[in-house]
Structure 1
Amino acid sequence: MAEAEEVKHFGVKGSPLSLRVDIALRLKGVKSKFCEEDLQNKSPLLIKYNPVHKKVPVLVHNEKPIAESLVILEYIDETWKHQGPPILPQDPYQRANARFWASFIDEKCSPAICKAYWEIEGHEKAMEEACELLQFLENELKDNKFFGGETIGFVDMAASFIGYWLRPIQEAVGVEVLTKEKCPKLYDWCDEFVSHSVVKEVLPPNKETLIAFFLGRCESTKLLAK
């Protein structure tokens, strides 16, 4: 009899990066143990498994740790390629394109959105930049339901922050960078994303808690709408 696999996910409930891993594991039907981390008091195991960055998420598969959320998604896709639907496209060009847009989200979109909401200096310029970057994602969706076509995939998971967290931020701050008028396709994609059966199973259950957190953050930066 084959030895049972052991899969652990060190993360934080409510973290967009941890959510990526939760979605991928659930989509592939991989059973795992979630290990909640307190980032103010990181566990010795987290430091052991991710000594370089000391951050979540970390996936530990049979005592072999993998760090960085996008790297973890690829690992899950390759390791359990015969389980569940693929996360990355099979075509080499489409795979490369998916990696490009996932990096674009992490390196461009998310930092610009955070800057637009949390920084006072250059606020208007930051808002304009965030809207411009979201327009690129709007165009990339084309007429597809998800970034991967009709099924959820790598780029959709990478964009989980936009799909679920951006609207609570907008509600908390009172300023919108994503609207139905400006980005109708991306706006509708958010609804499709949070309504997906796998995503619904792992989303944080309490949006009010998220909104309260963002309100506190906004008050500290004095960016609340008057």
Structure 2
Amino acid sequence: MAGYRERQARLAGAVVWARTGVAEDELPVLPDGCMDLIWTEGRLVVAGPDTAAHHPDPGGTEFAGFRFAPGTAPAVLGVPAAEVRDRRVDLAELWPSARVRALVGALDEAADRPAALEAAVLRRAAERPAPDPALGRVVAALDAGRPVRYVAEHAGWTARTLHRRSLAAFGYGPKTLARVLRLQRGLARARAGVPLAEAAAGAGYADQAHFTREVRELTGLTPGGLLRDAR
């Protein structure tokens, strides 16, 4: 039987999660601007930032995952986000294979794999330079609905620099990141029981029809379909 649980990680904005199995009718993983490091039965996989809904293969596999806050994974993992956008890549393709084998072996033997994965990520983060705090301010400004030009000016960057930095940190440009963050705001309101028209307005959409178009373009589903399947 499939099941899922998550908790806040000890790295700012991150989440540790665990899943047992993927059901046939599982909801897709929706774009959220995040990257994940996932252990699954003898493998470590980097899930890049998505620009469309990702449909996991159904099955009884066990998973443990670490979901990084937007813009923070590249500094820890040492790979630009754009290189893994819309991809699931074995960590052994990005890190020395001996190091990955040792880490996978330790996770295979761990009694609490999510906790062991979190500890491994924290050790790695301590070895690496911290993410640029300006990237967090970019996320906050875009999530607040600020225009891209405003975000660039207040970061002290040109529009071209903002775009280049966004590709490396988030996997896509600031306009796409803004769309993804707005999608998540709208869906969060709708899941909380806010009527779709109000959820759309509160998230920054022109109207409910605009919200529906954006959800369909980014997920392949309608807001109503997502909410119905979630229930």
TM-score with structure 2 setting the length: 0.30
TM-score with structure 1 setting the length: 0.30
> Which structure shows the higher strand fraction?
2
